Structure 1
Amino acid sequence: MADDVGRRRAALKRCPLGHCLRSGFLNNLANSLLGRFRQRSVPSDLDESIELDRAALLLRPPGHSDRSQSLNNLAASLRDRFRQRGVLADLDESIELHRAALLLRPPGHSDRSVSLNNLAASLGDRFRQRGVPSDLDESIELLRAALLLRPPGHSDRSLSLNNLAASLRDRFRQRGVPSDLDESIELHRAALLLHPPGHSDRSVSLNNLAASLGDRFRQRGVSSDLDESIELLRAALLLRPPGHSDRSLSLNNLAAILRDRFRQRGVPSDLDESIELLRAALLLRPPGHSDRSLSLNNLAAILRDRFRQRGVPSDLDESIELLRAALLLRPPGHSDRSVSLSNLSASLGDRFRQRGVPSDLDESIELLRAALLLRPPGHSDRSMSLNNLAASLGDRFRQRGVPSDLDESIELDRAALLLRPPGHSDRSMSLNNLAVSLRDRFRQRGVSSDLDESIELDRAALLLRPPGHSDRSQSLNNLANGLRDRFRQRAVSSDLDETFSLFLQLPSISYAVSRADLTAAKSWAAAAEETNHSSALLAYQTALKFLDQHVTLLSSSSRHFDVLRMATASLAVDAFSCSVRHGAPTTAVELVEQGRAVFWSQLARLSSPFDGFSLPGDTGGVLAEGFEQLSFSLRSAFDQSTEDQSPQIRQLVIQWNGVVSRIRMLPDSSRFLLPPLFSNLQKAAEEGPVIIVNASQYGCDALIVLIDQNPVHVSIGITRAQVSELSSDFHSVAEQFGSSDHQNKLVGILRKLWHHIVDPVVQALRKSNVRPGSRIWWCPTAEFTLLPLHAAGPYERERDNLSEIYISSYTPTLATLVRARQRVSRYASTQYFVGIGQGKPDRGKELRCVAPELAAIAQHLVPIVTSFTSLEDSDATVQGVLDALTHNQWLHLACHGTPNRQRPFESSFAMRDGPLMIKDIIRSNWQHPEFAFLSACHTTVGGETSPDESIHLAAAMQFSGFRSVIGSMWSVDDEVARQGDWTARGLRWHCTRP
């Protein structure tokens, strides 16, 4: 190419001004420089080409036979410069030159089809830049005319088929008319037939057809379109081996469609392959490459997707750095600068929400301001920028309380609403957002007009969200809360009546339940409790039904655990209290069970969805397979989606619900994946009563679940605040073990537990004929989960303590206990017991009495069990424990227990080589574990902000299959004599039970 340019320069020098052939030599040199620019992207080559084309055009005035050629060539070069630098004047001039060339090529001219095609291409560029529909419509008509001039057999027919197909695809993307996309696909198929194997443009046709099929998949969700698109793109990539000029494009496109398949089906390898393809594409677009900014942006986007799925901070950090690099390549004036500003703002917003660093939010807002300036009135994305900036300012107001942020957010929401008139697809969103901001301002400043306007906007939004709309519950909730605020301010009874009229529409929601639905139902319950409305119990039942439907569709990732933790806070315990107050104890048991320990229930559901169900016949097998595939796809789609109600997820949910409904029609499967009824939960009391101890803001109560009668209610004379204080005192004492006065403080706490809680329960147990020495199970809720109920007592000589009356165990839920018993081997008659002691862990103080403890246990058990193995000190490693429990069904564990109340999944038993964490325990696959005695500190201490989720060591052991778990509140070195006594009694009772 360099030699060609040099030769043409030399030839031009031989044609001085006035030479009759000078225009031809100018044209030739311009073409060579344009070709070199397209190969090497050197800007000076393009600038010189344009100047030479202008000079040639001057030598070809109107009437010159080659004028149309010069007009066309200059237009093409200006179009290339527009694509490189984004200067609109270049594009406008290109279009005018192409129009002039077309006039010189009337019907019948041999080059008319070329001019029709070129003018259409430039109009298409202007449409993509400015969004004027008439440019796109004209482009399509020109391309149809060009195609008519290139009938079957014409050498350029495939080019015209391809170009018309591409423009129809653009119009589909703008207006969503399905026929445009279908025609685009058919045209691309026709073009591919003209590019058989071996044709130089086959890879282009494969790529283009794949792109349109990908669009149709995203619109209609037909899996065959997605699969065909991927196969076409893989075939195109094979035709673009290393060194091919379009290899980076194929890598990019295949990565994009694999990302789509990951979002549909959730196969992690698709996401990882997509990232690797984008990394390879980026290497082929080094600094200086015209598409480097696009590759940086695409890789950043998919790393952000992976962060949202797996929560790895480095993915988000890398995404932000890539977006910063892309922004540098899109300086002021670049056509895609506003897109880069918006994308970087979004990733910084994600990082702010994850880590709470104020500077990320501030920078995100500044980027959104800059993007808005590049989307002036008339820009197609202006309303989106107004909306996003308003939302971020609202976030900052809620974080810092600066009134000006809220005022500006409201003005931006008003401006966005004006750009979304009646009929606009996002109008309901803008109505909702403005209403929320006005309600925030009312709550801050008390201006009645803000509240009134907010209510009217919510009414308008609700009209646009009829029954069946995915956001209807959000609008019902917002309008109800606005009316409730106005009732509080003005006490107009009609506002309160309308509030509950709106809430009572919630139980009819039947589509895929989102967090917004759950939030609305919780608001209903709170409003009913506040006003003593008769719908309170129905509100709780609806909220817990929504919770169950929502979590069924979520993965067990830590991100979704955080979502569930926020969603379930106090809901179950308040529902329990409401049921008790309404005289419905069996409902209380069902509701508290449904809303507590959601993580464990969900993990069990995902680990073995057909646990307890046997689907009969070939139909059952097909349904089981379909259910598992859809569940996997749906959970993965939720992991990747920022909106619970994306069209893709809604389609999957429809299919998922259909399969579940069909399974429930099979014999004995009507309760498939539904919360258990009391009759099922009552089975937890087969080997002794289960006592649910509940702490709610509305009162504290206990229910004793017995195998042969309705639950027995025990009123507890203590408030939740007092329970919380006791819990705090206990954990302060627990941290002082070994100090001189901790025992007196501990006894004082245990006496309070006895007086307020345990003694009333014991009296009720005696009245229910539960004999002393019997086994009982505690199922505590809320702050009760953090207290040692089993150790309570008056600690006076004339009165027994609880440990001397009944043998206590704990269970996080009744269903957990039932499930653990179902898994016990019905045919195992041998009892293999392992005693594990770690007195010298890698961290923490030495425990001197571990060996005597294990010796005492062995003395009691050797006559009873089939086999007793002791694992101590250097043998008591993390892997040693895991291995030992694959061969033993009975366990006594003496060591330090270490709770992690901020990250409960990292709570652990201290072993010689490190911590044995909850997350290690729940991944285990032990065979028929039956009994575990945990002689360790804090085994029932869960997360600080989510005690009802029972993410603690004892619950993890029970989830892993142990039928009975006894958890100690202190380690073996503390209160050795007392612990040794009741430990041995508990073990001996369990091992000799009938």
Structure 2
Amino acid sequence: MGQWSSSFVSLACRVALQLGPPGHSLRTFFINKLALNLHDRFQQRGIMSDLDEAIELHRAVLLLRPLDHSERSSSLNNLANSLQDRFLQRGIVSDLDEAIELHRAALSLRPPGHSDRYVSLNNLANRLRDRFLQRGIMSDLDEAIELHRAALLLCPSSHSDRPVSLNHLALSLQDRFRQRGIMSDLDEAIELHRAALLLLPSGHSTRSVSLNHLALSLQDRFRHRGIMSDLDEAIELNRAALLLLPPGHSARSSSLNHLALSLQDRFRQRGVQSDYDEAFSSYSQLSHLSHPASRTDLSAAKSWAASAYVLDHPSVLLAYQVALKFLDQRVAFLSSSCRHFDVISEAVSSLATDAFSCSVRRDELTTAVELLEQGRSVFWTRLARFRTPLDELSGSGDIGTALAEEFKRSSFCLRSAFHQYTEDRSLRIQQLTMQWDDVITRIRMLPDFSRFLLPPLFSDLQKAAEHGPVIIVNASQYGCDALIVRNAEDPVHVPLDITQAEVFEFSSDFHALSERFGSSDNQLKLVGMLRKLWNDVVDPVVQVLRESNVCPGSRIWWCPTAEFTLLPLHAAGPYERKKKNMSDIYISSYTPTLTTLIRARQQISRDASSQHFVAIGQGNPVNGRELKCVAPELAAVAEHVTPVVSFTSLEDASATVENALDALDHNQWLHLACHGMPNQREPFDSSFAMRDGPLMIKDIIRSNWQNSQFAFLSACHTTVGDEKSPDESIHLAAAMQFCGFRSVIGSMWSVEDEVARQIVSAFYGNLIDDSKRLDCTRAAVALHKAVKSLRKKIPLEQQIVFVHIGV
């Protein structure tokens, strides 16, 4: 009913605005009413266009309310609140910055004595704390604390908001303590939490929150001063909070986690078995969560898994399974925005790789594969496992279309509910969960959708090895391992005699070396590093492959994790006379995940006669150095390809961002020769340099290309991704693959212009055989042959720079 009334009010306001010309006395009222209504409707339905329009209307109202207008401060707050909501959805920091400045302006219009000054002080303080949590700028936090102090002075003991104001100041002081370690900040926070608790009698809806806050601050003080009475009190407070949070309550997981951590601390101090048992009994309750997991639920499950491993508790594997189940649920109802990628990748960290290692150490090899697949490349998983099935669902008929829209709406409402801190929040989440579960149940009843949102089983993942073994190479704090996945047999475990710390150091050294390739000294260092990679990682795998009768010359697929993703496994070898290197034994390809490889094989390949090939070359990009061999490279591509397929070329002035995206909509084969511009801090801004600017990953992922076959990315650093989250594979080559290309060739570091031309010419000469047909499944072999034919002509680092990804 709320949605219908919201739509009716919006319509009425629009009609009134049409009837009331500019200058009409009520025009500002109706614009403001429409803006507020659209914001409200956005919070109900999650349609971003409603929020965008609300923001523009709030801007219009602000223009109509000059500095001396009595309602200007309200308009400033309304616009700031809408921008804050958009920041939460899209993660655009400029929205948060503008919201802060608007709250400053509103505060300046509410001087001491103004009835709403308290509200503006709190609004500005809260947004500054948000920005501190986003950027870590201490001046924001210091200012937030002073503003919270000022707000508290306006809240006498009888004021209904005084407990909230006390808690806000206390939480900001705790933040500052964690940054600077000044004990007086923590001591003051504890006293403020105590004062808030005294104002919240038994039965108060937020008493459990204050109990938890006080418990957490006491636990912090115990860890710095070692006073056992602080820890004992924290445990009792956590227990009291849990009594107020029945199963199903949205805040229960956080309390369970805090209690378990405090009990573990006490167990380490006193060795009382009952504390150990109660800690893991508390954790085990997480497995019965009755709503889709929130960020705090996922954090609690991660804490359980880490604690169980460190304390050798038998629940460790269950803990990892629960944590990855929670991750799946989080991914399911989050949008595919860059902000949510940051949130998830930060929350996940090493979860999947540690789960894999834990499973391997318990000889649960198929479980290891399943858990690793669940927890890696979560952004691309969001696109592949959720967007694609939703597209298929929408295309399956009227029922499917309706269910897809209902699922999107339910997901948004749940996501919004987790961000709201109202008294009925938990009840609202329970109601929305029932709706969310119901729509998923109905979707799974449709043909071909029985496993909608469910992670793949090993029996399905095993299909990735249909055309050759897939070797998972994993680095974890618990150890490093390889696991060989085969099509019709159980996985084979290959222990690796190297630690995660050593892999990290090795990958850092290799990256530093790759920045200096060119001199003879660096050639010798490169050979030394490739030998170490062979001895520590690749040779043990090759020995098992040989024992498993994988024939020399066969294709294999590497699926590396963590820092292994940064190393050229395909190029390892002894580099000694009469001894074979990896490239002399097997033909290597890579895949970010098993599911990616399976999906690429499932895509239908049309006959070559109906396909189209585009070569895009940009040797003179805006603000970039000239690439002199781009034109000769495209000429070499045309020479080989034109006789067998419809061929188009875009060069120089024609090679713009818009033209490139348009060409990709109409061509299944792509050769791209230009500068590659990786951005390891903001990986979605990694780009190809076009004539008029960058073609970014975030442009690419908005595309929905049909029947894309092959992309040769003749550019530098196209497999270089996010330095903080290498397992997420947010790089240019992965973007092309996850957006539809079945087979991709990319580069691990800088490519010399002339070398690229030579390799490209040799590659296409090998790709097109006597059948005169293009087949993307021959790309790996063609690259292998091309490099082999040029070994005596180009330096080692350029021989191994290109890698094949996909089928």
Normalized against structure 2, the TM-score is what?
A: 0.88
**Per the alignment, do residues 870 and 256 of structure 1 end up closer, same or farther by CA in structure 2, a change over 3 Å counting?**
closer
Residue 988 of structure 1 deviates from its aligned partner by 6.0
Residue 342 of structure 1 deviates from its aligned partner by 1.0
Q: Which moved more, 1:426-435 or 1:947-956?
A: 947-956
**Is 1:916 paired with 2:695?**
yes
Q: Is the 8 A contact 2:292 2:326 kept in 1?
A: no
AA in 2 matched with 1:780: P
In structure 2, the gaps of 5 or more residues are 779-807
Tell me which residue corresponds to 2:80: 300
Distance in 2 separating the partners of 1:613 and 1:594: 22
Tell me which residue corresponds to 2:676: 897
Distance in 1 separating the partners of 2:162 and 2:685: 46
Distance in 2 separating the partners of 1:913 and 1:797: 50
**Is 1:510 paired with 2:290?**
yes
Aligned residues with identical type, % of pairs: 68
Deviations 1:401-449 (A, max 9, x none): 1111111111000000011110000000000000111111111111111
Distance in 2 separating the partners of 1:704 and 1:307: 43
Distance in 1 separating the partners of 2:16 and 2:630: 67
Distance in 2 separating the partners of 1:843 and 1:461: 59
Q: Is the 8 A contact 1:896 1:971 kept in 2?
A: no
Q: Is the 8 A contact 2:186 2:221 kept in 1?
A: yes
**Is 1:339 paired with 2:119?**
yes
Residue 946 of structure 1 deviates from its aligned partner by 0.5
AA in 2 matched with 1:748: G
Q: Is the 8 A contact 1:254 1:274 kept in 2?
A: yes
Q: Is the 8 A contact 2:394 2:401 kept in 1?
A: no
Q: Is the 8 A contact 1:600 1:959 kept in 2?
A: yes
Match 1:960 to one of 717, 721, 739: 739
Distance in 2 separating the partners of 1:992 and 1:826: 11
Q: Is the 8 A contact 1:808 1:966 kept in 2?
A: no
Residue 777 of structure 1 deviates from its aligned partner by 1.8
Distance in 1 separating the partners of 2:473 and 2:257: 32
Tell me which residue corresponds to 2:480: 700
**Is 1:949 paired with 2:724?**
no
Q: Which moved more, 1:980-989 or 1:318-327?
A: 980-989
**Per the alignment, do residues 232 and 898 of structure 1 end up closer, same or farther by CA in structure 2, a change over 3 Å counting?**
closer
Q: Is the 8 A contact 2:669 2:708 kept in 1?
A: yes
Distance in 2 separating the partners of 1:807 and 1:879: 36
Residue 246 of structure 1 deviates from its aligned partner by 5.4
Question: SS of 1:339's equivalent?
Answer: helix
**Is 1:256 paired with 2:43?**
no
Question: SS of 1:773's equivalent?
Answer: coil
Distance in 1 separating the partners of 2:649 and 2:85: 48
Q: Which moved more, 1:439-448 or 1:893-902?
A: 893-902
Alignment of 1:118-137 (within 5 A): none
Tell me which residue corresponds to 2:793: none
Q: Which moved more, 1:795-804 or 1:519-528?
A: 795-804
Q: Is the 8 A contact 2:386 2:453 kept in 1?
A: no
Tell me which residue corresponds to 1:678: 458
Alignment of 1:425-824 (within 5 A): 425-610=205-390, 619-620=399-400, 622-631=402-411, 637=416, 651-824=431-604
Residue 741 of structure 1 deviates from its aligned partner by 2.5
Question: SS of 2:454's equivalent?
Answer: coil
**Per the alignment, do residues 765 and 839 of structure 1 end up closer, same or farther by CA in structure 2, a change over 3 Å counting?**
farther
For the pair shown, which has the larger CA radius of gyration, 1 or 2?
A: 1
Distance in 2 separating the partners of 1:507 and 1:486: 24
Residue 242 of structure 1 deviates from its aligned partner by 5.4
AA in 1 matched with 2:139: S
**Per the alignment, do residues 761 and 861 of structure 1 end up closer, same or farther by CA in structure 2, a change over 3 Å counting?**
farther
Alignment of 1:17-28 (within 5 A): none
Distance in 1 separating the partners of 2:211 and 2:266: 19
**Is 1:885 paired with 2:670?**
no
Root-mean-square deviation (CA, aligned residues, Å) is 3.0
Residue 233 of structure 1 deviates from its aligned partner by 5.5
Tell me which residue corresponds to 1:316: 96
Deviations 1:593-636 (A, max 9, x none): 0000000011234532346769977654543443344345556x
Tell me which residue corresponds to 2:800: none
Deviations 1:52-109 (A, max 9, x none): xxxxxxxxxxxxxxxxxxxxxxxxxxxxxxxxxxxxxxxxxxxxxxxxxxxxxxxxxx
Tell me which residue corresponds to 2:129: 349
Distance in 1 separating the partners of 2:29 and 2:648: 63
AA in 1 matched with 2:46: G
Distance in 2 separating the partners of 1:717 and 1:555: 40
**Per the alignment, do residues 244 and 972 of structure 1 end up closer, same or farther by CA in structure 2, a change over 3 Å counting?**
closer
In structure 1, the gaps of 5 or more residues are 1-216
Distance in 1 separating the partners of 2:153 and 2:162: 9
Q: Which moved more, 1:272-281 or 1:394-403?
A: 272-281
Q: Is the 8 A contact 1:517 1:546 kept in 2?
A: yes
Distance in 1 separating the partners of 2:762 and 2:326: 43
Q: Is the 8 A contact 2:721 2:731 kept in 1?
A: yes
Residue 274 of structure 1 deviates from its aligned partner by 2.2
Q: Which moved more, 1:340-349 or 1:379-388?
A: 340-349
Question: SS of 1:591's equivalent?
Answer: helix
Question: SS of 2:101's equivalent?
Answer: helix
Q: Which moved more, 1:593-602 or 1:276-285?
A: 276-285
Residue 749 of structure 1 deviates from its aligned partner by 1.6
Distance in 2 separating the partners of 1:427 and 1:237: 46
Tell me which residue corresponds to 1:369: 149
Distance in 1 separating the partners of 2:37 and 2:642: 63
Distance in 2 separating the partners of 1:800 and 1:835: 36
AA in 2 matched with 1:301: N
Deviations 1:892-937 (A, max 9, x none): 4444433211111122234454433222222233331112333443
Residue 695 of structure 1 deviates from its aligned partner by 0.6
Residue 676 of structure 1 deviates from its aligned partner by 1.0
AA in 1 matched with 2:130: D
AA in 2 matched with 1:754: W
Q: Which moved more, 1:564-573 or 1:622-631?
A: 622-631
**Per the alignment, do residues 283 and 845 of structure 1 end up closer, same or farther by CA in structure 2, a change over 3 Å counting?**
closer
Tell me which residue corresponds to 1:392: 172
Match 1:410 to one of 187, 190, 193: 190
**Per the alignment, do residues 868 and 328 of structure 1 end up closer, same or farther by CA in structure 2, a change over 3 Å counting?**
closer
Distance in 2 separating the partners of 1:849 and 1:658: 58
**Per the alignment, do residues 492 and 634 of structure 1 end up closer, same or farther by CA in structure 2, a change over 3 Å counting?**
closer
Q: Is the 8 A contact 1:894 1:972 kept in 2?
A: no
Distance in 1 separating the partners of 2:25 and 2:212: 49
**Per the alignment, do residues 750 and 877 of structure 1 end up closer, same or farther by CA in structure 2, a change over 3 Å counting?**
farther
**Per the alignment, do residues 460 and 237 of structure 1 end up closer, same or farther by CA in structure 2, a change over 3 Å counting?**
farther
Tell me which residue corresponds to 2:752: 973
Deviations 1:563-599 (A, max 9, x none): 1011110000001111111111111111100000000
Tell me which residue corresponds to 2:106: 326
Distance in 1 separating the partners of 2:176 and 2:776: 63
Deviations 1:430-489 (A, max 9, x none): 000001111111111111111111010000001111111111111111100110111122
AA in 2 matched with 1:436: L
Q: Which moved more, 1:799-808 or 1:258-267?
A: 799-808
AA in 2 matched with 1:461: A
AA in 2 matched with 1:432: N
